[in-house]
Chain A
Amino acid sequence: MTRMLSFTPEVFFSLFEQYNRAIWPGQFLAYALGFIALLLVFRPFPQRDRIIGAVLAAGWLWIGIVYHYLYFTQINFVAPVFAVLFVLQGLLFAWTLALRGQAAFRFQPDVFGWTGVAFAVFAMVVYPLHGWVAGHAWPRSPVFGLTPCPTTIFTWGMLLLTQGRTPIHLTVIPLVWSVIGGSAAWLLAVPEDASLPVAAVIACVLIVWKNRLARREALA
């Protein structure tokens, strides 16, 4: 299967090593921002919805420009397309959430809230542990907030934590990436990435359900 790509899994993980070493200690900042975003879902804070939106926007923009365009392009001729997708999603988050404040992030003790929190915690904690067990621990591992797959899982979690209707246009690119990134589980022997399409399917079903409930409540 790996012969379908222009690079080997060894070179792919080597790229993560170069990237992680080059941006060190940015990983701490990424985790801090992710933790703050998750915390703000539980605690009132001025402009918290815009702050969460800005965190999501910053993550997607960074990954598009730095990871995809400056690093992944070295070995993958399709990476510039991925860069465009991530930058576009970053701009959508910036416009919809950070600038216009069109969504409110609140934890509700229901299936959407618990699943959202579970996805966010999974992306930050379980995903890297799975990679460690699979044999590509730090620095040869994709890191939350700075690489596409764990960040997309976190994004699904945050989208489930929006109060009321989740803006559908914010789900399109994460869904596309969940298919592309999920293929890495098989093409590049990254077993933890198999969780990405699973998270996408669960999130999409729940978002459709949540949006229908929101519409009924609005009509009632």
Chain B
Amino acid sequence: MQDIGPKLNRRVFLGSLGAVAATAGMPASLRAQSGSILTRAIPATGERIPAIGMGTWITFNVGRDQKRRAQRVKVLQTFFDLGGGMIDSSPMYGSSEEVVGHCLERISNKGSLFSATKVWTLLRALGVRQMNASRELWGVERFDLMQIHNMLDWSAHIETLKEWKAQGRIRYIGMTTSHGGRHDALAKAMAEQPLDAVQFTYNILDREAERRLLPLAAERKLAVVINRPFRQGALIDSVKRHKLPEWAGEIDCANWAQFLLKFIVSHPAVTCAIPATSRVDHMRENMGALHGRLPDEAMRRRMIRHVEAL
């Protein structure tokens, strides 16, 4: 058997599993399902959300192009039709927040929406202004999750977020990074700040988070949102040149998107993965990962070996 190194070993994996089971008071099952779709609990409250959400980086930044906006309405409609919940965006993503708001206005069955965005600016006062602007753009009364984007001026914004949470203006506080180099700073904040959720990168090839952030999130009872599940599309573009292994059927994967997403959401500390897409057919593929069996540890190792050998 190929040695997959310290990034994913039995001790770390079982450690995370045990930590989640202990902290969330749930059985150590990887198949935490509610109804017919896979959901995960937000440790702070026990509220369950679908384990596959939707990111908006690039894909929803279409400006005022009405044709593309109409197409994104179809994408988002499909997301909700298939049981989607979390939509994640940021003021950094150009017109994405405005386009999400445009789409939400035209969709009726959005009751499962779990709105997540970010504050991304210097200075506390500018952060307040930016978060209020985001609420207007989305057309929501309050955000479910407000995250400090890439930890920018986090010590200023965390005070606002604590106040807003106490006032009921947001429900959860989060912090994000998409840079591996900021893992140390994020880990420190996770240990010291009153966070409910964290967001960072984790996928079948980028598994640095298994070493420290995922076990720490489990230990601190933090929800974990996973960005870049497909390495911004590069990973899935790469693996799609190859045939999906037949044994992927053992975990009910019909395509590569489900293969890669099930790897992520089968980690016991992960709450939600947020792949981004601008296509309805890709949205259907992604949301299929909410169904069927999930890989156990042995299968996860097999998945890693297979993808690394491609």
Contact = CB atoms under 8 A, between A and B. Distances in A.
A27 interface: no
Contact of A77 (B58, B62, B92, B232): B92
B310 interface: no
Interface stretch (A8-16, A120-128, A158-166, A206-214): A8-16
A7 B68 contact: no
Contact of A11 (B63, B91, B92, B234): B63
Given A11-B68, A14-B63, A6 B91 contact: no
A14 B233 contact: no
A183 to B, nearest CB: 17
Nearest to A5: B58
A23 B91 CA distance: 27
B188 interface: no
B263 interface: no
Given A11-B68, A74-B95, A75-B94, A3 B233 contact: yes
A18 interface: yes
B247 interface: no
Given A8-B58, A18-B63, A3 B68 contact: no
A76 interface: yes
Contact of B62 (A3, A5, A14, A76): A14
A18 B65 contact: yes
Nearest to A7: B61
A14 B68 contact: yes
Interface residues of B, number: 17
Interface in B160-213: none
B64 interface: yes
Bin chain A's interface residue count.
10 to 19
Contacts of A5: 58
A3 B55 CA distance: 14
Interface string A60-77: 000000000000001111
A156 to B, nearest CB: 30
A6 B57 contact: yes
Contact of A7 (B58, B91, B232, B233): B58
A6 B232 contact: no
Given A3-B233, A8-B58, A77 B91 contact: yes
A5 B94 CA distance: 10
B68 A6 contact: no
Interface in B55-73: 57-58, 61-65, 68
Please name the 6 residue pairs, one residue from A and one from B, whose CB atoms are nearest each other, closest first.
Answer: A75-B94, A74-B63, A3-B232, A14-B65, A7-B61, A75-B63
Given A7-B62, A11-B68, 14 more contacts: A3-B234, A5-B58, A6-B58, A6-B93, A6-B94, A7-B94, A11-B61, A15-B63, A15-B65, A18-B63, A74-B94, A74-B95, A75-B63, A77-B91
